[in-house]
């Protein structure tokens, strides 16, 4: 499954990342930011994938502006 990482600027296109790559990066970091263009279903699959591997996963929406559509997803994955 591919997920879109949060944009670095407002006009940039989001980069994609595979679940395997996220799993490899867990050795270095535990917080990931995902773009609002990801479906809620995909994010739930991400959570379930890591919970099945005995990780604790916490997800929340982070608003960065006053507009309702200005948000990203913050996901903490902890072993």
Q: What pTM value is reported for the model?
A: 0.89
Q: Report the alpha-carbon distance of residue 13 to residue 16 in Å, rounded.
A: 10
> What is the chain's mean pLDDT, rounded?
93
52-77 exposure pattern, b = at least 16 Cβ within 10 A, e = fewer: eeebebebeeeeeeeeeeebbbebeb
Task: Give residue 65's pLDDT.
Answer: 85
- Sheet with 71-78: strands ordered across: 31-34, 71-78, 56-63
Tokens of 72: 């990203």
Q: Report the alpha-carbon distance of residue 36 to residue 44 in Å, rounded.
A: 14
């Amino acid at each position: 499954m591919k997920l879109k990482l949060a944009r670095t600027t407002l006009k940039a296109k989001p980069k994609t990342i595979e679940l395997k790559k996220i799993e490899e990066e867990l050795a270095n970091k535990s917080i990931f930011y995902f773009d609002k263009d990801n479906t809620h279903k995909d994010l739930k699959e991400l959570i379930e994938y890591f919970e099945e591997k005995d990780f604790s996963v916490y997800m929340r929406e982070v608003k960065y502006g006053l507009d309702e559509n200005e948000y990203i997803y913050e996901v903490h994955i902890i072993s």
